[in-house]
Amino acid sequence: MVSFSEALILDLFVNKITLPVLNLISDHLNRQAKLQPNRDFLILDDFRLTYAKTQKLVDRIARALIAAGVERQDRVAMMSDPRPEFFIHFLAVTSIGAIWMGLNPKHTKNELSHVLNDAEPSMLFGFGNQSENSLEKLLDLTKSNKSIRQLILFEQEDSYSDYSWDNFLEGEQQVSHANLMVRRSEISPKDPAYIVYTSGTTGRPKGALLTHMGSNLCNVIAVDRKALSDRSIICNFPINHVGAIGDICGRTLTGGGTLYFQEKFSPSEVLRLMESEKLNTLVGVPTMLQMYVNHPNFAQTNLTSVDLIAWGGSAIPSELLQTLMEKTECTRCTMGYGMTETTGGVTYSGLHDSVQVLANTIGTPDPRQPLRIWHPDGRLAETDEPGEIQVKGDFTMVGYWKHPDATAAAFTEDGWFCTGDLAIQLQDGNIQIVGRISEMFKSGGYNVYPREVELALEEHKNVKMAAVISVPDLTFQEVGIAYVMGTEKDTPKPDELRAFVAQRLANYKIPKQILLLEELPLLDIGKVDKKALRAFHDSN
């Protein structure tokens, strides 16, 4: 019998996947500029930039960065909403061996100060005319961070001419193209390219160092497995998130597609843009997709140009997915599992998997990204047996910036990265998340995995989202408390839900209490913020 991995390798061979894994992230821009120089690559409103023009601008900025004294492995930061400038800047910085980092204008000065003090960038770029008091933040952060030698402002007012983007860009004339090529030739594919700070739900955010090789490998595999060639797609994720840098922009670049940027997330604007530009890819975290469906304009919006629905970050309710598929008349869907430290996805759904599979699993591994489910006893878990997802290879992070102890704790002695996520591999090869190791609890001596309980609750037609936490109990040591958010149509009663899950779960897994909330606290990526939920529970 042919194994899943053998079958996948055979399929890749038969279909002659030839997309190259290049040395530097920016090499994929150079490749596309040769293949399709006049194709629109970056779009924001009336602003459009082709692959060829983007390549020229990236080279100009790269030379200006060298002229400004940016060395290999220097950190260079940018604060911006999702705009073409962000990705152009990212490609330029990484192309000279410096380490790029993105900052979200929505974050407070305290949050931004933490990551800047930790990463110590030599330059800071940003917009002087965006909201969230961007200019004030940029000036204060530059003043308070000793490592920042220079602040550069896009679209600054005359009174801030010392920070002029135009003056900075004139520095390109001091560096020849030959010198730029020499600098690029010195970069190893395994060098860090960018630093992404984790969401920090269990403490202060730590910076994961991600490489050129890891990014290019993940991008190529995702384009292969997710049919991401020739995509037209909206980027409205925050630029400090691997979802924007890799999952949206990196994959679209590698697949030779077109990126449409949206500075401020707006469901109505997404629907308008999808219809007017006839975009072929509908993408977002499930929370965003639900907001599109709930919007008054959804019913009248023509989405038949969509031939691929993609999501990540959290599980999608089956009812939501069915609605989207019927609306778009789309039969191809793609999702998977990954995290910041893995530079993106490490599992992938089949493009024509059933709604049931897509809503309840995270797909299958790829043989190019070694993955195992490791039992607590120190062995490979059997089929349907819970264990930790662990991955290994050049696609994982180098480590946490300036946190050697945390880095060492994240990897096994033989190099496997420990995700902290508990999962089971089903008979058909698909993997199902059952919870976080840190969230698993024992009730009466039995292991309870919160995600398993949440999935059972979310099977109810009137449950939009569920979250389970554990609390101490005199009799059972720990018991589960479930917080449930109802759908727009109806909110089920706790007793009804308890009876519902009793048909699906063993008695010890049934939550001791089921509490209803109008809204659950969410992270930027659409997952429930368990830290905030626990704080809410403790305070009430």
pLDDT digits (tens, 9 = 90+) for 105-122: 988 888 899 999 999 999
Tell me which of 452 and 327 has the higher pLDDT: 327
pLDDT (mean) for 204-224:
96
Partners of 421 in the beta sheet? 436
> Is 50 exceeded by the pLDDT of residue 15?
no
Q: Which CATH number fits domain 439-539: 3.40.50.80, 2.60.40.1510, 3.30.300.30, 2.40.240.20?
A: 3.30.300.30
At the top level of CATH, which class does the domain 23-215 belong to?
A: alpha beta
What predicted TM-score, i.e. pTM, was given to this entire model? 0.86
CA pair distance 344, 415, nearest whole angstrom: 18
For residue 33, the Cα-to-chain-centroid distance in whole angstroms is: 26
475 band by pLDDT with thresholds 50, 70 and 90:
confident
Q: Residues of CATH 3.30.300.30 domain(s) within the chain?
A: 439-539
Do 197 and 397 meet the contact criterion of CB atoms below 8 Å apart? no
Tell me which of 129 and 240 has the higher pLDDT: 240
Do 481 and 500 meet the contact criterion of CB atoms below 8 Å apart? no
> Is 50 exceeded by the pLDDT of residue 21?
yes
Do 331 and 350 meet the contact criterion of CB atoms below 8 Å apart? no
pLDDT on residue 408: 97
Do 127 and 160 meet the contact criterion of CB atoms below 8 Å apart? no
Q: Residues of CATH 3.40.50.12780 domain(s) within the chain?
A: 23-215
Please give the structure tokens belonging to residue 290. Answer: 């639900």
Question: Which residue matches tokens 């821009």?
Answer: 29
Among candidates 229, 92, 98, which has minimal Cα distance to 171? 92
